[in-house]
Amino acid sequence: MAPQLLGMLLVHETGGVRLAGRIVEVEAYLGNGRDPASHAYKGPTPRNGSMFGAPGRFYVYRCMGLHRLANLVCEPEGSGAAVLLRAVEPLEGLEWMRAARGGCHERDLCNGPGKLAQAFDIELAHDGCSALRGALRIEARRWTQVVRMRRGPRIGIRRGADLPYRFFIDQHPCVTRSPLNRAAGLAPRRG
C-alpha cells in the first residue's frame, strides 16, 4: 500500500479553507508483530487502538510530547499494518499553511511528518476517522508527469532501522532530507 499511496492527494476542508497536496514520501510499518519499529508491535494499547481497527482510517498520535503524526491504517484488518505520511507537496491553501507554519518556504511547509500535520491542521481528534470520506481524507490521483520512486531505510527509529520501508519520489524538493532542498541554501552543506 505504501508505494501506491505516493501521488495520491491529501485533502482537508477545515474552517472554510481547502488544504490539499500530493503525497511524496511515506513509510510502511508491517503488521502481525513482524515489525519491531511499529507501535503495533506488541499488540493493542489505548494509544494504538485505531491501528487494529478498520483499514482506511487514520491513526494519529502525539510524538515527542508536541508533534502529531498521521498514518493510514492498512489491510488486513486487525494486523496493525499502517503507513506513515512523511511528506506532501502542497498544492492548495498555501497561504493558510504558511500562517500555520510560521511563514516558511513552500518546500518546507510539509516536508516532515510533524510539519505536515501542522500545515494540514491534523489533530488527535482525527484518530480513527475515515480517510476515504470526511473533511480530512485521501483521494486517488494519477501522476501527470514521469516520476521515479526510490526506497530506503526508515528515519528516526532504532529497531528495524535496516528495513527499507521508506518510499519517496526521487529528486522531489518536498521530500525530507532532499538534496535539492539543501542545494537551495536553506541548510548549508559542508565542504
Please give the residue ranges that form the binding site for DNA (CB under 7 A).
27, 29, 37-40, 42, 45-48, 51, 59, 61-67, 69, 71, 82, 84, 101-102, 104, 108, 112-116, 154-158, 176, 188
Q: Which of 96, 144 has the CB closer to DNA? A: 96
What is the nearest approach in angstroms of DNA to the Cβ of residue 131? 14
What is the nearest approach in angstroms of DNA to the Cβ of residue 1? 13
Q: Which of 11, 81 has the CB closer to DNA? A: 81
Q: Which of 148, 158 has the CB closer to DNA? A: 158
Backbone angles phi, psi at 32, to 5 degrees: 55, 35
Contact 172, 7 (CB under 8 A): no
What is the nearest approach in angstroms of DNA to the Cβ of residue 145? 25
> Across-strand partners of 26?
85, 167
Radius of gyration of the chain (CA): 16
For the chain, helix, strand, coil in percent to 5 are 20, 30, 50
Return the C-alpha cell found at 179. 538534496
What is the nearest approach in angstroms of DNA to the Cβ of residue 99? 13
Q: Which of 11, 74 has the CB closer to DNA? A: 74
**Non-local CB neighbours of 64 within 8 Å, separated by 6+ positions:** none
Backbone angles phi, psi at 3, to 5 degrees: -65, -30
Q: Which of 43, 143 has the CB closer to DNA? A: 43
**Non-local CB neighbours of 6 within 8 Å, separated by 6+ positions:** 23, 24, 25, 26, 149, 167, 168, 169
What is the nearest approach in angstroms of DNA to the Cβ of residue 87? 8
